[in-house]
Structure 1
Amino acid sequence: MEPLRFDGRVAIVTGAGRGIGRAHAMLLAERGVRVVVNDLGSANSGDGSDPDPAGRVAADIRAAGGEAVADASDIASVEGAARLVRRAIQAYGRVDILVNNAGIFVPGEFPAVDLPELRRYFDVHVGGSFNVTRECWPHMADAGYGRIVMTTSHGILGSASLIAYGTAKGGVFALARALSVAGKDLGITVNSIAPVASTRLAGGSDDGDSGRGTLDGSAPTRVSPLVALLCHESCPVSGETFLAGGRRHARLFVAETEGYIHPESDVTPENVAEHWREIMDESYYYIPQDTDTWLKGYAERIAASPIVPSA
């Protein structure tokens, strides 16, 4: 097939000063995107700031013949997100693509993790993604076009050492699903990726291209091709989540089993227990499209199973 090009498009990539975000920014720029490289330059914990990482990536893009500007705004704040998007509009007059990649990561187990730490993760991962998307949204809606990629994590599947991180990433997953519905009639697609790569945040020793780590071929650059496809005008989906890394790409989705509908109006715990196998049976399942569609289908299935009077 013909190479995917993005000539004339403008992208904001957050957390792009190192690791996976850097790989996204470099690949998009190579394909013709004018990139706003955002990175606060903080430590893994989110402490501190340094404009150099964003500046270096923007310089690398320009040295390779691309177009890029750097931005060190803190997207966890409403003001920082607004400043970032203004930077994109002032530099390039538009914003077509947003890759919400910025995040913090320090493993923490329960109950040692406290509420302030949980809130900090939400401020960066969920709040940051929300803030920048909210600032970009009017520009994309006015243009009738937008491509947004959120960054969730396999941490949403459950990990004792990723309590705060995984919970926040679950919020990002839900945010992307909701926004995909909101953008359906506006020409805006919203998808998520759960990357697997050896980076500074993941405890790796390399944020470059070699991807030295426990997973074969786990360079950050292995994640970016899927992200580029989701950022392209030919993007075939919205509201989806994908695993990407180590040369593997897969769809991650929420599914619902056929379940069990009790034939009588009164349901007891014993009724539920007696039909547990049917409730858990995965031999047939379906994938809900969105909340409204799911609710309608749920009501229709109940209505199709009339109540049988109890003896």
Structure 2
Amino acid sequence: MTIRFDGRVAIVTGAGNGLGRMHALELARRGAKLVINDFGGSRDGKGGSSDAALAVVEEIRHAGGEAIANGANVADFEQVTAMVAQAKAEFGRIDILINNAGILRDKSFSKMEMADFRAVVDVHLMGSAYCTKAVWEIMREQNYGRVLMTTSAAGLFGNFGQANYGSAKVGLVGLMNMLGIEGTKNDIRVNTLAPMAATRMTEDVFPAHLLEATGPETVTPGALYLVSENAPNRVVLGASGGVFSTMRMVDTAPVAIPVSELTPEAVEARFAQISDWSTAAFREDAGQQVHAYVTRMQAARG
């Protein structure tokens, strides 16, 4: 069955270039009306211009689609609120939000200024929270919404020199988990994309052969599935070069230590058992993890 977005309205942040642009173009090609958001700054978030967003709008209109441009800085809640009001006034509803905007200010943590840490967190994490908050009540009222966060392997698994970026990116997975639960009764599904793609964010990081193989067009199909009508909920989807995987947090089977023996040495002695990943299990929510702990405590105490 062909995935279509006829009658749907989508906001894509950071849509002037790279992944955001490709997401927007493909959404439009499949029938969606678009708000092309792009602050127009440099890779580190400085400066600002509406040229990139307007160019994407022109591409969409030239192909027969509908789109408007917006230059809101996603790290400014007032600007984001105005963007959403503009979208609602223009198109009457908002069905899809793709939180894609981001900046990079890479340095080792020892050399990183806290202002640069804050700036990256503000755009990636707070920007996604602001945009989602601004559309949330609209989606609840219409009993339909699809929200996509954008994470990174840097946050999920670690990467040297990206403490700010990684912190923000793993925070987005936590935000997804919470909102995916809260949105269920109103058919708001929240997912996260973990892309590796050739964009201006990676052009001087990836070798040439990898840039050639990982264009945004190899990632966007995953993004569009995650914002489609039949999307899953609370999924982290890795995507690059036409290769996809899912990722999630698991924990090992709880190991009980008798209270009478409860010392750091006892934890050390049992650590191989505690960290035995062959026992790992997924928890649907925090309550399931608490239940596993309580059950183990009760069993250990007879």
Aligned to 1:54: 53
Q: What percent of counterpart residues are identical?
A: 36
Deviation at 1:212, TM superposition (A): 5.7
1:159-170 paired onto structure 2 within 5 Å: 159-170=159-170
Is structure 2 residue 225 aligned with structure 1 residue 225?
Answer: no
8 Å CA contact 2:105, 2:120 repeated in 1: no
Aligned to 2:4: 5
Is structure 2 residue 300 aligned with structure 1 residue 305?
Answer: yes
* 1:265-309 Cα distance to aligned partner (Å, 9 max, x none): 4411121111111111111211111223322332223223226xx
Letter in 1 for 2:221: P
Q: 1-side partners of 2:188 and 2:61: how far apart? A: 28
SS at match of 2:217: helix
Q: 1-side partners of 2:211 and 2:284: how far apart? A: 33
8 Å CA contact 1:244, 1:250 repeated in 2: yes
Is structure 2 residue 19 aligned with structure 1 residue 20?
Answer: yes
Counterparts in 2 of 1:54 and 1:22: CA distance versus 1, 3 Å? same
Deviation at 1:152, TM superposition (A): 0.8
Letter in 2 for 1:21: G
Q: 2-side partners of 1:186 and 1:81: how far apart? A: 23
Is structure 2 residue 191 aligned with structure 1 residue 191?
Answer: yes
TM-score under structure 2 normalisation? 0.95
Aligned to 1:141: 140
Counterparts in 2 of 1:96 and 1:7: CA distance versus 1, 3 Å? same
Letter in 2 for 1:218: T
Q: 2-side partners of 1:264 and 1:73: how far apart? A: 55
* 1:122-167 Cα distance to aligned partner (Å, 9 max, x none): 1111111011100100000001110000001111111112111111
Aligned to 2:43: 44
Q: 1-side partners of 2:178 and 2:262: how far apart? A: 32
* 1:176-232 Cα distance to aligned partner (Å, 9 max, x none): 1111111122210111011100110113599xxxx9652562001111101101111
Q: 2-side partners of 1:212 and 1:31: how far apart? A: 31
Q: 1-side partners of 2:189 and 2:293: how far apart? A: 26
Deviation at 1:106, TM superposition (A): 2.8
Between Structure 1 and Structure 2, which shows a larger proportion of helix residues?
2
TM-score under structure 1 normalisation? 0.92
SS at match of 1:49: coil
Is structure 2 residue 117 aligned with structure 1 residue 122?
Answer: no
Could you say what the CA RMSD is over the residues aligned between the two structures, in angstroms?
1.8
Q: 2-side partners of 1:150 and 1:270: how far apart? A: 41
Q: 1-side partners of 2:89 and 2:209: how far apart? A: 40
Q: 2-side partners of 1:258 and 1:216: how far apart? A: 43
Letter in 1 for 2:292: G
Counterparts in 2 of 1:213 and 1:28: CA distance versus 1, 3 Å? farther
1:271 paired residue among 266, 271, 284:
266
8 Å CA contact 2:12, 2:100 repeated in 1: yes
Q: 2-side partners of 1:127 and 1:282: how far apart? A: 33
Aligned to 1:203: 203
8 Å CA contact 2:13, 2:101 repeated in 1: yes
8 Å CA contact 2:198, 2:212 repeated in 1: no
Letter in 2 for 1:103: G
* 1:7-26 Cα distance to aligned partner (Å, 9 max, x none): 10000000000000001001
Q: 2-side partners of 1:65 and 1:303: how far apart? A: 64
8 Å CA contact 1:216, 1:246 repeated in 2: no
8 Å CA contact 2:254, 2:296 repeated in 1: no
Q: Which runs of 5+ in 1 are unaligned?
A: none
Q: 2-side partners of 1:56 and 1:221: how far apart? A: 18
Q: 2-side partners of 1:97 and 1:5: how far apart? A: 13
Aligned to 1:173: 173
Q: 1-side partners of 2:59 and 2:198: how far apart? A: 21
8 Å CA contact 2:203, 2:211 repeated in 1: no
